[in-house]
């Protein structure tokens, strides 16, 4: 086969994405069932790491964690943080109304169980979209009185790191695959040129092998995050049991907390284009500015 034919042919077989989607759903369901059957609790991470889903994620994360990190300062610099709440007709509204309080957290949230005072915020680089996200996240509807408050990251916490699970949200599987394919062909081309000069077949250098390992790790991580985002981060139906459906997410949050991170960025399942952030310490961000108070 000629060099031109080799370079025009695909180097990698990326397989059937539908099979990968089915696999990640199955392993997630196994993860959730193990929690439901009390094989371990959501905060027993060492036991949870025996499940296929979290074990695979842990393997990827240990090699690529730096790619998923972002500082809290980036949210302040590049967008808007907001929190909303449905209001009663005659209540007086202050900043205190927008801070989580254990006595009012009577249902499981996606990453935290009943009574846990973690701070959930909507984020977007478009203020209107961040505000819209708060309304949708609260399931508010026409006629409801609603309040929205902006938040700022406290200066002492701006260098703290959170995990960004939305890294691959704007990419297609084709984008992710093409990046690895193109990198592979660059290394193949270099190897071919060296072989032609040497008059014999030569292999990749150690540096090139290490660089290719990084490229493959990048591909694996982004593919997994894309699958996670599309197959797992989906809205719940009204009839779904939140304590059951959210238990695996709560276990993942505990995993990241144990790794030293202060929160998670994840896609909103109810507002396209917006992102949500959960901070494990509610004092890391402070309400600021004028409170919006209006009837939807």
276 closest CA partner among 220, 235, 227: 235
pLDDT tens per residue across span 133-146: 999 999 999 999 99
* Residue owning tokens 């696999």: 23
Sorted by sequence, the CB contacts under 8 Å of residue 265 that are 6+ apart come out as: 70, 75, 123, 162, 163, 164, 165, 166, 275, 276, 277
Does 232 or 281 have the greater pLDDT score? Answer: 281
Does 5 or 213 have the greater pLDDT score? Answer: 213
The runs of H, that is alpha helices, within the chain are 3-8, 17-36, 45-48, 52-68, 72-78, 127-137, 173-198, 206-231, 242-245, 247-258
Taking the CB of residue 220, how many other CB atoms lie within 10 A of it? 17
Question: What is the Cβ-side half-sphere exposure of residue 131, based on CA atoms within 13 angstroms?
Answer: 13
Phi, psi dihedrals of residue 139, rounded to the nearest 5°: 55, 35
Beta bridge partners of 26: none
Q: Given this model, what pLDDT does residue 4 score? A: 52
The arithmetic mean of pLDDT across residues 2-7, rounded, is 47
Residue 6 pLDDT level (bands cut at 50, 70, 90):
very low
Contact 153, 72 (CB under 8 A): yes
Contact 268, 137 (CB under 8 A): yes
Work out the angle between the directed axes of helices 52-68 and 247-258 (0-180°, nearest 10): 50
Q: Given this model, what pLDDT does residue 197 score? A: 82
Q: Given this model, what pLDDT does residue 199 score? A: 78
Q: In this model, does residue 101 exceed pLDDT 70?
A: yes
Q: In this model, does residue 10 exceed pLDDT 80?
A: no
Q: In this model, does residue 8 exceed pLDDT 60?
A: no
Percent of the chain exceeding pLDDT 70 equals: 95
List the strands of the sheet with 69-71, edge to edge: 69-71, 161-164, 263-267, 275-279, 119-124, 80-87, 145-153, 285-295
Q: Given this model, what pLDDT does residue 15 score? A: 66
In angstroms, how far is CA 202 from the centroid of its own chain? 41
Lowest mean pLDDT: which of 34-43, 83-92, 119-128, 175-184? 175-184
Taking the CB of residue 244, how many other CB atoms lie within 10 A of it? 13
Tokens in use for 202? 């030569």
Percent of the chain exceeding pLDDT 90 equals: 59
Beta bridge partners of 222: none
pLDDT tens per residue across span 251-274: 999 999 999 999 999 999 999 999
Work out the angle between the directed axes of helices 247-258 and 17-36 (0-180°, nearest 10): 90
Mean pLDDT score of the chain: 88
The arithmetic mean of pLDDT across residues 268-281, rounded, is 94
Q: In this model, does residue 231 exceed pLDDT 50?
A: yes
Q: How many residues does the chain have?
A: 296
Sorted by sequence, the CB contacts under 8 Å of residue 102 that are 6+ apart come out as: 115, 116, 117
CA–CA separation, 17 and 226 (whole Å): 11
pLDDT tens per residue across span 33-73: 999 999 999 999 999 999 999 999 999 898 888 989 999 99
């Amino acid at each position: 086969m000629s060099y031109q034919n080799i370079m025009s042919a695909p180097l990698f077989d990326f397989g059937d994405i539908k099979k990968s989607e089915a696999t990640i759903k199955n392993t997630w369901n196994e993860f959730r069932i193990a929690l439901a059957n009390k094989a371990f609790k959501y905060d027993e991470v060492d036991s949870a790491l025996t499940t296929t889903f979290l074990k695979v994620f842990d393997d990827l994360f240990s090699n690529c964690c730096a790619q998923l990190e972002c500082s809290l300062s980036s949210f302040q610099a590049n967008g808007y943080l907001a929190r909303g709440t449905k209001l009663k007709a005659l209540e007086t509204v202050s900043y205190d109304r927008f801070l989580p309080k254990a006595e009012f957290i009577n249902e499981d949230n996606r990453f935290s169980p009943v009574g846990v005072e973690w701070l959930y915020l909507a984020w977007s680089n478009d203020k209107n979209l961040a505000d819209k996200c708060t309304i949708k996240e609260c399931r508010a509807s026409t006629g409801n009185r609603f309040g929205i408050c902006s938040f700022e990251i406290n200066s002492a916490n701006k260098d703290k790191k959170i995990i960004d699970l939305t890294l691959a949200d704007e990419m297609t599987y084709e984008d992710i695959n093409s990046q690895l394919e193109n990198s592979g062909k660059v290394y193949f081309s270099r190897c071919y040129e060296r072989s032609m000069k040497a008059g014999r077949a030569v292999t990749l250098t150690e540096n090139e092998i290490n660089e290719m390992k990084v490229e493959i790790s990048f591909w694996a991580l982004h593919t997994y995050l894309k699958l996670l985002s599309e197959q797992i981060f989906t809205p719940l139906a009204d009839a779904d049991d939140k304590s059951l459906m959210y238990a695996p997410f709560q276990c993942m949050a505990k995993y990241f907390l144990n790794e030293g991170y202060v929160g998670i960025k994840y896609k909103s399942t109810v507002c396209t284009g917006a992102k949500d952030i959960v901070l494990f310490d509610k004092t890391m961000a402070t309400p600021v500015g004028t409170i919006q108070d209006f009837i939807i």
